[in-house]
Homo-oligomer: A and B are copies of this chain.
Amino acid sequence: MHRDVSTANFFQRADLRVVLVAPRNPLNIGAAARAMANFGCTRLRVVNPYEVAFREARSAVGAAPLLASAEEFTTLAAAVADCALVVGTTSLGHREPQHPLRRLESGARLMRQAAGPIALLFGSEKFGLSNEDMSHCHWLMRIPTVDLNRSMNLGQAVAVCLYELARNSRAAAARPEKPVKAARAADTEQITVMLLEALERSGYIKPLTAASAKTKVRRLVRRLNLSAHDAPVVLGMLRQILWKLGA
């Protein structure tokens, strides 16, 4: 099985702490913890959580060990005290122009290069990070959402940030493929259906194995990567064969 060594390595090396500031919803705390577990990030810190929410999140299934070992702080200063780089997330544009605001893509790049423990801060669901919270940050980072719907759900924002930190730019550099206009799925499926019919009529497919054959044939047809130009040609061929095979 393929192992994503690169993913695990980043979070082992970077020593990242995810810091939730005043979270209020147990589902969001649990979702943040689950995303951390997905990407191999283990250190969760919580500042002044809504007590009930934190208790409920701790008792929820999934990501339980991570939540059990989460550290609780009463001040943000204490929660980031051992970190060499403190990065805040925000959905807003520049509130204070002198506070650097980076898009996630470039911010994550800087975080990958940073030495020493890093704190990545997420504000409360309703208000985000306060000005006071932000003043603890070296710089701010925002996920490139569209202007009309900037504000992300907390658990989703954590997932996206950790993914960007874990992602492998080399994995994206696949060989370019020539852009051929592909057949529409309706045509591809029509070809599948007609081919199956032909195979059944011809006795290639036995009734006992028909279900698994259907799946195999459908995949085979997709692997052909039929072009929009070729699909009607193949359909014409099959139509002719079916006619010849009879009912």
Contacts and interface: CB of A to CB of B under 8 A. Distances in A.
Given A135-B218, A156-B159, A184-B84, A113 B35 contact: no
A137 interface: yes
A1 interface: yes
A187 B3 CA distance: 39
Given A31-B156, A110-B177, A135-B219, A185 B82 contact: yes
A77 B189 contact: yes
Interface residues of A, number: 97
A4 B147 contact: yes
A104 interface: yes
Contact of A146 (B39, B100, B102, B219): B39
B219 A172 contact: no
Contact of A135 (B116, B176, B183, B222): B222
Given A38-B150, A84-B228, A146-B4, A96 B219 contact: yes
B81 A186 contact: yes
Given A7-B145, A146-B7, A152-B159, A176 B113 contact: yes
6 contacts: A7-B145, A96-B219, A114-B179, A114-B182, A138-B222, A156-B156
